[in-house]
Amino acid sequence: MTKAPADLKNFDSLLKIVSDLRGPEGCPWDQEQNHKTLAPYTIEEAYELVEALEQNDDLKTKEELGDVLFQVALHAQLASERKAFTIHDILSTLNEKMIRRHPHVFSDTKVQNTQEVWQNWEQIKRDEKKKALTSDQSKSNENNLTIDIPEAIPALQRSYKIGVKTHKAGFDWSAPSEVMLKVKEELQEVEVELKKKDSLSLESEIGDLLFSVAQLARHCGFEPEQTLRAANRKFLTRYEAMHRICANKKTPFETLNLAQKEALWVEVKKQLANQVSSPSE
């Protein structure tokens, strides 16, 4: 039997636990994993952390941060086993990058505001990428203005980041009212394609509408991914409340007609609104 570390507040204890899990007498599941098989769990843990943060739940946030940290340690262990890099190489790379990208903190660069911080950050990133390219790659990419945002992130979040990037480049609407006009325009185009029943064109127009709505959220000061997650939670809270009411009345939800379901929806909205407005009850 493998002996567990005594000091559970020590970072090295985490590294030992991960190493033991991967070791000869470790856990069969952990032993079978590789970077690709772990990727879905890494994404899942990140989302669970975001959920905890949005709920302002410190206890859950503490736990989810630990789960994310475990993923980092596990990927580092896998890399160490194949002699690619270690957790200390990760820390060194991260620390070097943070120091390099904050010259206004760790050097004599002067900035006036957050906007200048972001401008410096983006310029430093571009310079880093140029240095990382071979001479041939550099020549072929020197006029490449493609926005570098990972495709793996949620599409709505990517739309937001694209808008942020283009805004910094001076290509953007000047006010939410202007974006709203674009949203209305895109909605009209969706309505036209609905009548045509051309699925490819309709999909394209709905995509344009979603992109425009994401930019409207950005102009209003909201992150659209977070905004939609909140809307999802609100809908599910109401929907589950409808089912609870039906269960209390011993009336199967499925037996209600659409008008009855709509009336129940309105009832639930009022009930939940009253709960929010009367927190002391």
- The structure's pTM equals 0.70
**Chain mean pLDDT for the chain:** 91
Residue 140 has pLDDT above 90, yes or no: no
Query: Which architecture characterizes domain 155-222 according to CATH?
Result: Orthogonal Bundle (1.10)
Closest CA to 98 of 117, 72, 79, 77: 117
Q: How far is CA 259 from CA 249, 263, 266, in A?
A: 18, 6, 11
pLDDT at 280: 45
Question: Where does the pLDDT of residue 134 fall: very low under 50, low under 70, confident under 90, or very high at 90 and above?
Answer: low
Looking at the predicted structure, is the pLDDT value of residue 153 above 90? no
**Percent above pLDDT 90 for the chain:** 79
Model confidence at 281: pLDDT above 60: no
pLDDT at 276: 65
Q: What is the pLDDT of residues 185-244, one digit of tens each?
A: 999 999 999 999 889 999 999 999 999 999 999 999 999 999 999 999 999 999 999 999
CA atoms within 13 A on the CB side of 12: 3
Residue 277, phi then psi, degrees to nearest 5: -80, -15
Q: What is the pLDDT of residue 146?
A: 64
- Would the pLDDT of 277 be above 70? no
Cβ(216)–Cβ(180) below 8 Å: yes
Query: What are the distances in angstroms from CA 185 to CA 158, 192, 193, 196, 201?
Result: 22, 11, 13, 17, 15
Q: Which fold has domain 11-85?
A: Helix Hairpins (1.10.287)
